[in-house]
């Protein structure tokens, strides 16, 4: 088609915006609404001519439901023989390749911003069912709007069949597997490679080549350099295995920067008010000797851990727990502190594990076992650790580990007996490390309990929630709810249709109880966790719409439950530190709610 022609009787092409191997991109105006849209031509080849109901068009219709602030909204997909026209939001802004002309580079802060925004988009795409890959990420496909928001455009490669995908991509950005002929299918790791190549170009002004060997990325801080190098590993198994894991790394980097900036501001304020106090705050943490400075007590250590650098804060938490392993405040404060950004990273997880499994000199019990001697403190700590794994940890087996901790919390609450004794083993061959307590770990043994490694406890068969949590505390009830919730979800994915409908019914009941707790003011304390709960609930209700209908739950009940979840999300109060992430989750909740309602209506039609 040419400029001036009308597509499908309603879109008039008024300007050609660009052209490529797949086809052209036009600016068009809708003849009735007079709104501007971008229309992209995708040539599928003669094999697809006339396949209006074929797999490619089915995928396109599914992709129209993608709604994320970093993706242009696709409103229509029109097939014309062996050509498909995508009608999408016209993004006004500057393509990032324009910023990089003549070898120009971006600042380290700008590179981090691009990495975070594109990773958010990839996290959304990989969460779809089935996951969606872009497969052509590069600077020219990233448009920065005047308000700073980055849009990932041009999904042309995403519609292609797998054989075509291996011939797609742009040299300097396409991953090695896109050129291989051994049948390996590209996945999200393919997009992470392209993102790494894009960040390399933005940092150095040069196009990445797989033949380059580098120990670090020039003009790039070490943390970001290591991240880019990991994305650019030739073997997909050596890259980040998901966008969620990459986002966790970026979040940890951001948290460290915020901590350091906060510390600098605190020192500057103290320097203005009391120079001597500022000098002490600078010098003392690094040289602090617990045995020599008796003024440092448990409460002071926990309180001060929130205003020092990340590494110093861990030393403070270690010292506090060393003073009193049976108190829960240090563990709980640490969990709250590290999840401010909504991510419980691998590094943060390992610190907590090492802390729980430390044994003081001359004693035999681990810190965890000493904490377990205080039932109320251990119940709350185990529950919060379980919730951290459930909602904030990017590990693939995080839910399995969470169920183990919920089982511990429930056992500690007295509702059930722990089904298996906690098995432990001595950790051998650890390198010595000063925990900041004046103790070296070559004199401290470590024990690990396997239950948090994923014992995957569920409530005994035939045991209802009311029986498990009768006359128990709210914390015990919450642990029982999540344990049963996890069990029902696991059975849904591994059962036949009839059993899946029964498991879906049990999920429905448990979801209702959690919502009842939230209405009574006993819901999740962390606002980001509350929003993640709402998002996950809507995703699950979408997936289970057919099973819920078969289990006897009407479409009206399902739609009412969806709106109840959406209302809970809107009422969640967010702190300023969490606003950026909460805005993204709320956007995903809105999209998930629409998808859930559509799934319920389709299920109702199919069953009638």
pLDDT score of 76: 81
Tell me if the domain spanning 6-89 has CATH number 3.30.200.20: yes
Integer Cα distance of 279 and 99 in angstroms: 43
pLDDT score of 231: 95
Lowest mean pLDDT among 86-95, 495-504, 512-521, 522-531: 495-504
Binned at pLDDT 50, 70 and 90, residue 456 comes out as very low
6-89 with 94-241: one CATH topology? Answer: no
Nearest alpha-carbon partner for 179 in 137, 187, 160, 171: 171
Long-range contacts of 323-327 (CB under 8 A, 24+ apart): 323/297, 323/298, 324/298, 325/360, 325/367, 325/370, 325/371, 326/370, 326/371, 326/373, 326/374, 326/377, 327/298, 327/371, 327/374, 327/377
| pLDDT tens-digit series, residues 146-203 | 888 899 987 766 654 444 444 567 889 999 888 876 656 788 899 999 999 999 999 9
252 vs 141, residue with greater confidence: 141
pLDDT score of 113: 92
Mean pLDDT over 16-22 rounds to 73
Lowest mean pLDDT among 82-86, 343-347, 574-578: 574-578
pLDDT score of 495: 55
Lowest mean pLDDT among 83-97, 288-302, 538-552: 288-302
What CA dihedral angle connects 463, 464, 465 and 466, to 10 degrees? -110
- 518 backbone dihedrals φ, ψ, rounded to 5°: -65, -40
For all residues of the chain together, what is the average pLDDT?
Answer: 77
CA distances from 72 to 151, 175, 333, 480, 583 (A): 7, 24, 40, 42, 17
Integer Cα distance of 195 and 192 in angstroms: 5
**Any idea what the Cα angle at residue 331 is, between residues 326 and 337, rounded to 5°?**
160
3-state secondary structure of 306: coil
| Bridge partners for 426 per DSSP | 447
In the chain, domain spans: 6-89, 94-241, 249-373+420-453, 495-607
| pLDDT tens-digit series, residues 468-512 | 444 457 788 888 889 888 887 777 765 566 676 678 888 899 899
Helix, strand and coil in the chain, % to nearest 5: 55, 10, 35
Binned at pLDDT 50, 70 and 90, residue 430 comes out as very low
Integer Cα distance of 489 and 564 in angstroms: 21
**C-beta separation of 455 from 407 below 8 A:** yes
CATH T-level fold of 94-241: Transferase(Phosphotransferase); domain 1 (1.10.510)
Binned at pLDDT 50, 70 and 90, residue 594 comes out as confident
For residue 438, is pLDDT > 70?
A: no
Which range of 48-52, 78-82, 415-419 scores highest in mean pLDDT? It is: 78-82
How would you class 271 by CB atoms within 10 Å of its CB: exposed for 0-12, middle for 13-18, buried for 19 or more?
A: middle
Binned at pLDDT 50, 70 and 90, residue 413 comes out as low
For residue 422, is pLDDT > 70?
A: no
């Amino acid at each position: 088609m040419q400029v001036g022609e009308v597509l499908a009787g309603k879109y008039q092409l008024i300007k050609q915006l660009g052209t490529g191997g797949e086809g052209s991109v036009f600016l068009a105006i809708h003849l009735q609404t007079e709104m501007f849209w971008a229309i992209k031509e995708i040539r599928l080849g003669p094999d697809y001519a006339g396949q209006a109901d074929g797999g490619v068009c089915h995928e396109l219709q599914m992709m129209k439901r993608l709604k994320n602030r970093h993706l242009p909204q696709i409103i229509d997909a029109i097939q014309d023989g062996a050509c498909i026209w995508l009608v999408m939001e016209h993004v006004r802004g500057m393509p990032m390749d324009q910023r990089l002309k003549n070898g120009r580079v971006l600042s380290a802060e700008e590179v981090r911003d691009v990495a975070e925004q594109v990773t958010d988009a990839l996290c959304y795409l990989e969460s779809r069912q089935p996951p969606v890959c872009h497969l052509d990420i590069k600077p020219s496909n990233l448009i920065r709007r005047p308000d700073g928001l980055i849009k990932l455009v041009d999904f042309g490669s995403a519609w292609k069949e797998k054989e075509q995908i291996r011939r797609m991509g742009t040299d300097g950005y396409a991953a090695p597997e896109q050129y291989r002929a051994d049948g390996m299918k590209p996945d999200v790791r393919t997009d992470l490679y392209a993102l790494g190549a894009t960040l390399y170009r933005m940092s150095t002004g040069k196009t990445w080549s797989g033949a380059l060997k580098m120990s670090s990325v020039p003009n790039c801080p070490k943390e970001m350099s290591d991240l880019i190098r990991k994305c650019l590993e030739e073997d997909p198994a050596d890259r980040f295995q998901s966008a969620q894991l990459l986002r966790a790394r970026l979040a940890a980097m951001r948290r460290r920067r915020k901590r350091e900036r906060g510390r600098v501001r605190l020192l500057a304020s103290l320097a203005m008010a009391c120079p001597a106090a500022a000098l002490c705050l600078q010098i003392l943490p690094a040289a602090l000797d617990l045995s020599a400075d008796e003024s440092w007590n448990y409460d002071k250590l926990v309180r001060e851990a929130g205003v020092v650098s990340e590494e110093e804060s861990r030393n403070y938490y270690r010292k506090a727990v060393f003073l009193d392993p049976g108190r829960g405040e240090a563990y709980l404060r640490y969990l709250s502190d590290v999840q401010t950004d909504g991510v419980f990273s691998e590094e943060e997880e390992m610190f907590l594990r090492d802390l729980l499994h430390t044994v003081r000199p001359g004693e035999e019990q681990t810190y965890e076992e000493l904490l377990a001697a205080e039932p109320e403190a251990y119940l709350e700590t185990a529950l919060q650790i379980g919730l951290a794994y459930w909602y904030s940890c990017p590990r693939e087996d995080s839910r399995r580990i969470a169920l183990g901790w919920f089982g511990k919390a429930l056992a500690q609450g007295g509702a059930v007996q722990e089904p298996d004794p906690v098995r432990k083993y001595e950790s051998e061959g650890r390198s010595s490390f000063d925990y900041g307590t004046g103790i070296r770990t070559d004199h401290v043994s470590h024990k690990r309990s396997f239950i948090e490694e994923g014992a995957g406890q569920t409530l005994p068969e035939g045991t209802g929630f009311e029986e498990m949590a009768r006359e128990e505390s709210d914390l015990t009830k919450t642990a029982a709810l999540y344990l049963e919730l996890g069990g029902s979800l696991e059975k849904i994915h591994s059962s036949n249709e009839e059993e899946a409908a029964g498991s879906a019914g049990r999920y429905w009941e448990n979801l209702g109880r959690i919502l009842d707790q939230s209405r009574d003011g006993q819901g999740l304390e962390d606002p980001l966790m509350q929003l993640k709960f709402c998002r996950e609930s809507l995703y699950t209700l979408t997936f289970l719409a057919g099973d819920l209908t078969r289990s006897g739950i009407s479409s009206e009940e399902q739609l009412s439950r969806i709106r109840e979840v959406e209302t809970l999300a809107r009422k969640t109060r967010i702190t300023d530190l969490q606003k950026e992430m909460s805005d993204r989750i709320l956007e995903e909740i809105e999209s998930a709610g629409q998808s859930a309602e559509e799934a319920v209506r389709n299920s109702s039609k199919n069953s009638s």
